[in-house]
Copies of this chain bind each other. A is one copy, B any other.
Amino acid sequence: MHAIVPFDARDPKTRLDDLLVREERRSFAQEMLQDVLETLAAVDLHPEVLSTAPVDCAYPVRVDERPLTVAVNSAFEKHCPVVVVMADLALLTPGACERLLAPEADVVIAPGLGGGTNALVVRHPEFQVDYHGVSFRDHQEQARACDAALTTVDSFRLGVDVDTVGDLLEVLVHTDRRAADWLRDAGISSQVVDGKPTVTRE
């Protein structure tokens, strides 16, 4: 199945700017992207990066400068069934992908922290995404509106997207791939301060 991986190649992960300068944010975002793409390919999905600007990558890249929602809905015109997986799901594993793909519903949603939609399987030709606001709720309504059977997947690995410095702790604790290596090489680690796990940089 075709898998769309939306990616901001211009100014990604701005909420990490307390810890990382822009070039570092770009570099870290690319490592996460690469981890995600390889994981998707490992379960026989065919990933295509839907990027806001050209990006150096071993997988197909389509550049679309329009807002995320418009670009994804436009890609749906070419691909159904289709999977949409965010590029910052650094905790993704083949097992989590298999759980996403297992239900046969018209629409399968993996909720993300903060009311988001981190991953979607769409097998219904009329379903459209809307990533603005509480997208998990909006996608439930959208599925009802076009009479698509919807189910959700309960996964921590699909639910954690990496946006904040606090999220980096999840990468350090729960993964051991490119993104985690990149953090360690940048001197970023988890320390216990007053009994509480904290992300620090040397």
Contacts and interface: CB of A to CB of B under 8 A. Distances in A.
Given A154-B157, A157-B154, A158-B156, A169 B115 contact: yes
Interface stretch (A42-50, A52-60, A189-197): A189-197
Given A111-B174, A115-B197, A192 B132 contact: yes
Interface string A180-202: 00000000001010011100000
A144 interface: no
Given A155-B155, A156-B111, A160-B113, A134 B173 contact: yes
Interface in A93-146: 93, 95-96, 99, 110-111, 113-115, 132-134, 136-137
A84 to B, nearest CB: 18
Interface of A is mostly: mixed
Contact of A133 (B113, B115, B132, B197): B197
B154 A114 contact: no
A6 interface: no
A24 interface: no
Nearest to A173: B115
Contacts of A12: none
B195 A132 contact: yes
Interface-centre pick from A134, A136, A137, A156 (highest chain B CB count, 10 A): A156
A38 interface: no
A115 B192 CA distance: 10
A114 B195 contact: no
A173 to B, nearest CB: 5
16 contacts: A93-B154, A99-B154, A111-B173, A113-B113, A113-B160, A114-B169, A114-B197, A115-B173, A115-B190, A132-B195, A134-B190, A134-B197, A136-B174, A154-B157, A155-B156, A159-B160
